[in-house]
Structure 1
């Protein structure tokens, strides 16, 4: 889980990890555009990873990007540790390279984007995590900065 050594060509999946839900976005390394894909329930680990396995089988990604949550000042917290564990599990189960991306403020900016589209309050819940994943992946495309 380090910075990528070369630019992979193909589909990339990105994840916005949360204890209850994981947002997933998809993009192509050539187009460098991210799109929200789906939100996965993360309350039952095996069901969560089964859903991820189906996505990986269907989309055949060349790389996985995982948003790494931290405090505003960059300090790590409990969710940071859980997210790193999630990323290690992805590597172990699927054998794909993982890149960790700073995800500070992605949920806030995703919420603002949804409000601009007229989606407010509880109606945002099903889409918020996948929109945050989209922002994580777009950040990867725009900056290609990974954290370790």
Structure 2
């Protein structure tokens, strides 16, 4: 008998039930890079970590699985690019497929998190900080991953405080 595949869900409560306590990773999956952020073990703080340059899907999965194992994460939050009207287009379908592959490769539960405003929010913050275009280009993906993970960690903390999580 084979084990059930890891959970891939948009439901924070289901994710909380599937993800053991510990560090989470946040991913912002782009066509050229994958932004990575991690939380502290108590999920109170989030840190932008890296932007993994994309190559081949199998190489991307292997590099990601290795990096997340090194970081000892217990669950993954992946930004889901939903359209402004709430519908899902081809990018969202692609990210859903990649999320399933990442969950299987890493053996970890995945929470798909609405990322509609992540890039815009971090870009606005970087512009306000007067970052150069080159520095913004290098930082945007890992900062977007941190923004995504921060929102999910806040939601998970509210669930735990209300007694509906874990």
* TM-score, normalisation: structure 1: 0.89
Distance in structure 1 (CA, Å) of the matches to 2:138 and 2:63: 16
- Quick check: which has more Rg, 1 or 2? 2
3-state SS in 1 of match to 2:144: helix
- Provide the residue aligned with 2:103 in structure 1: 91
3-state SS in 2 of match to 1:62: strand
- Provide the residue aligned with 2:67 in structure 1: 55
Distance in structure 2 (CA, Å) of the matches to 1:92 and 1:63: 12
Structure 1: gaps of 5 or more residues: none
> How large is the RMSD of aligned CA atoms in angstroms?
1.7
Specify which of 29, 33, 43 is matched with residue 45 of structure 2. Answer: 33
- Provide the residue aligned with 1:138 in structure 2: 150
Deviations 1:102-146 (A, max 9, x none): 00110010111222333132321111000000000000011239x
Equivalent residue runs for 1:1-148 within 5 Å: 1-2=8-9, 3-6=14-17, 8-144=20-156
Q: Is the 8 A contact 1:8 1:29 kept in 2?
A: no
* TM-score, normalisation: structure 2: 0.80
3-state SS in 2 of match to 1:4: helix
- Provide the residue aligned with 2:3 in structure 1: none
